[in-house]
Amino acid sequence: MPVRSSAADLLHVKNKVKELKPMNPISKKSLQWEMHTGIYLFEWWEKAIFNAIVVVGLLFLLYTTVSYLPKRLQTVASNMIELSS
């Protein structure tokens, strides 16, 4: 049998919602990141390890993009020029 809430319960919930303070943008993004990745369940040190692995992965991606993309684009451009002529 479903539990029915009274008007007093609903009023109490509405008052609690009004009492909530808005979060600053950094805290909000941090909470969104934790909820999206599921790391809100981790201990603080597990979160640190997970985030460190993510940062290192992004740094590797940035390094390979910066070092290899210009040469690859140059090769693709020269191949397109050869094909068009």
Q: 3-state class of 22 per DSSP? A: coil
C-alpha distance across the termini of the chain, in Å? 78
Residue with tokens 């191949």: 79
The radius of gyration of the chain from alpha carbons, rounded to an integer in Å, stands at: 26
| Cα–Cα distance for residue pair 57/59, rounded to 1 Å | 5
Per-residue pLDDT of the chain (85 residues; tens, 9 = 90+): 555 666 777 677 667 666 667 888 898 899 899 999 999 899 999 999 999 999 999 999 999 999 999 999 999 999 999 998 7
pTM tops 0.85: no
